[in-house]
Structure 1
Amino acid sequence: MGILRLSHVEVRCPDLELSTAYYTEVMGLIETAVEDEAVYLKGWDEQQHHSLILRYAPTYGVERVGFKVQHAEDLDELTSAIEGYGIATKRFAAGELGPGSGETVRFVAPSGHTIELVHGMEQIGNALPLHNPPPEPQGLSGMHPPRIDHVFLMCEDVDEITRFYTEVLGFRLTEQIVADDGHQLATFLERTHTAHDIAFIVGPDAAFHHVAYWVDDWNDLRRSADIAAYHGVRIDAGPTRHGATRGWGLYFFDPAGNRNEVYTGGYWADPDREPITWTEAQMGRAVFYYEGVVDQNFLTVHS
């Protein structure tokens, strides 16, 4: 019941043609629809219409983040909880927000980000048969991650946004980085029993850090780094390991300046699992376990 997982992320791009070429040829996502000022894409193994929207805008950044809910009734219950928190919502019919879109509730979270809860996005399949399928379709390009994994955002008050996501939206806290004064510097939250579906770190409200796509193992991560280097894509960090989430990641930038990650590993998070706490002194190891430090450039604001 309630929120199932991350559904989609919309990012801003000043050059749609260049960004589309990058996301289809280098990242290897599949284009599913095109509008005058937007392009819709998905990972090859995603059944739903899209998980990434490229929206024309003068600069980079995140426009909105969507989560999939299991039942239409969940939209009513979550709307009531959000409005009870004092946040206004707006409802859209299926198809009203563009190709493939489902019935949607939209609101602005305390972090300043525009969030959507979606039920009934069009299902278009993964191009594999339901009987005796091969491991993946033939002819995939670039890194070709199977699915979206998580989104990492920034805001001024991590304590408040964590309370909102846990108490109102029903997320579970898996890990946190806590400052010496007791405030949360970063939190990792899940609905899928993975290490995180969304995370927040201290920074300006409504700011964007990265969107991550899943790859199956370390070899796929290493191969993604080879592809990024071959295409001249600017690598930001990695391949490396995280202390928080225990995952492995590679960070790089799309042509607009939006940070991407390909991610793998992590752990299974049962609902009764106690959160892991990292201290401020160990923040570097929490983010980059091998290096033990966080370069200030890695905390660059993408708003």
Structure 2
Amino acid sequence: MAMTGVLRPGHAQVRVLNLEEGIHFYRNVLGLVETGRDDQGRVYFKCWDERDHSCYIIREADTAGIDFFGFKVLDKATLEKLDADLQAYGLTTTRIPAGEMLETGERVRFELPSGHLIELYAEKTCVGNGISEVNPAPWNAQREHGIAPIQLDHCLLYGPNIAEVQKIFTEVLGFYLVERVLSPDGDSDMGIWLSCSHKVHDIAFVEYPEKGKLHHCSFLLESWEQVLRAGDIMSMNEVNVDIGPTRHGVTRGCTIYAWDPSGNRFETFMGGYHPYPDYEPLSWTYDNFAQGLDYPQRKLHETFMTVVT
């Protein structure tokens, strides 16, 4: 599909309970590349194959969880249009000046009915991936450091009013519904998977009574072998694993879910199919969601449904 409007997930800012412990985990175990620190005490990371300055920012706080999730848009004109469209829809937007985050241009922030803060931005400094732009190698030495995902892929957020959230993403931001899980009575959606690209999802939501909760941020790997290698590295470092290695029915992705030292869940993910906006959404009935979650075991893992930050 043509890459216009909202391009892709750009960054997540996540709270950790101990900054130094978080830095060690994300730099040495997950294998992200540290790209900066600011006077607010935030530490910036990117995945090795990403070009922009940062995709994952951590800060120390008393509670774990997510501060905001951001999407990069095509250009400044697109940012202005989407800001106006959000306001016309009835949402309040806030302009955050360029430079408030390191190497990042002006951002437009708004709050979803689910209680989550979403940002849009058009500019972030390109720092490259350490590979020449002429006759490039397929990877560099950073790929062998820790788990070393290639990019921030998506996030799953828990909160109320996801039917209204879906309208904002589809009617204002240009996303489309790829898959959904029906509620037990079949009259509404319990979970929705949304895409602004031809990825199987760029963001997802599950209906939950508390606002603003993080289920996980997901990091993309290149192969099933790399997912299994991630599991080895997690075990070597005594990381608490939630689910996997396994395969989802929903999205067809292959996965391991685990927790960082502060209790924020993250995912190492690969696979999935390639949808397009003209595809009909796929639906999973609630009584078969166990297979949608863990296709081989057909198990509805209790922690997946209840543990969030």
Task: Please give the range of the TM-score, normalised by the shorter of the 2 chains.
Answer: over 0.9
Aligned counterpart for 2:141 among listed residues 130, 138, 154: 138
SS of residue matched to 2:304 = helix
1:93 Cα offset (Å):
2.8
Q: Is contact 1:26-1:228 (8 Å) kept?
A: yes
SS of residue matched to 2:141 = coil
% same residue: 38
Q: Is contact 1:166-1:172 (8 Å) kept?
A: yes
Q: 2:21 matched to which residue of 1?
A: 18
1:148 Cα offset (Å):
0.7
**1:188 maps onto 2:200 in alignment:** no
Q: 1:110 matched to which residue of 2?
A: 113
Unaligned runs of 5+ residues in structure 1 are none
Q: Distance in 1 between matches of 2:65 and 2:238?
A: 21
SS of residue matched to 2:308 = coil
Q: 1:32-43 alignment to 2 at 5 Å?
A: 32-36=35-39, 37-43=41-47
Q: 2:206 matched to which residue of 1?
A: 201
Q: 1:246 matched to which residue of 2?
A: 252
Q: 1:122 matched to which residue of 2?
A: 125
Return structure 1 stretches of 4+ with deviation > 6 angstroms: none
Aligned counterpart for 2:299 among listed residues 290, 293, 302: 293
Q: 1:156 matched to which residue of 2?
A: 160
Once superposed, what is the RMSD of the aligned Cα atoms? Answer: 1.1
Q: 285-294 vs 110-119, which deviates more?
A: 285-294
Deviations 1:147-192 (A, max 9, x none): 1101000112221211221111111100001122411000000012
Q: Is contact 1:145-1:213 (8 Å) kept?
A: yes
1:205 Cα offset (Å):
1.8
Matched residue count = 302
Q: Distance in 2 between matches of 1:92 and 1:206?
A: 20
Q: Is contact 1:151-1:211 (8 Å) kept?
A: yes
Q: Is contact 2:116-2:212 (8 Å) kept?
A: yes
Q: Distance in 2 between matches of 1:181 and 1:222?
A: 36
Q: Distance in 2 between matches of 1:183 and 1:274?
A: 17
Whichever residue aligns with residue 231 of structure 2, its letter is A
Q: 239-248 vs 280-289, which deviates more?
A: 280-289
Unaligned runs of 5+ residues in structure 2 are none
Whichever residue aligns with residue 281 of structure 1, its letter is D
Aligned counterpart for 1:66 among listed residues 66, 70, 77: 70
Q: 2:90 matched to which residue of 1?
A: 86
SS of residue matched to 1:228 = helix
1:133 Cα offset (Å):
1.9
TM-score w.r.t. the length of structure 2 is 0.95
1:217 Cα offset (Å):
0.6
Q: Is contact 2:6-2:72 (8 Å) kept?
A: yes
Q: 1:2 matched to which residue of 2?
A: 5
Whichever residue aligns with residue 43 of structure 2, its letter is V
TM-score w.r.t. the length of structure 1 is 0.97
Q: Is contact 2:113-2:162 (8 Å) kept?
A: no
Whichever residue aligns with residue 299 of structure 1, its letter is M
1:35 Cα offset (Å):
2.3
Q: 251-260 vs 132-141, which deviates more?
A: 132-141
Whichever residue aligns with residue 159 of structure 2, its letter is C
Deviations 1:216-244 (A, max 9, x none): 01000000000000000001100110011
Aligned counterpart for 2:81 among listed residues 77, 80, 101: 77
Q: Distance in 1 between matches of 2:298 and 2:84?
A: 43
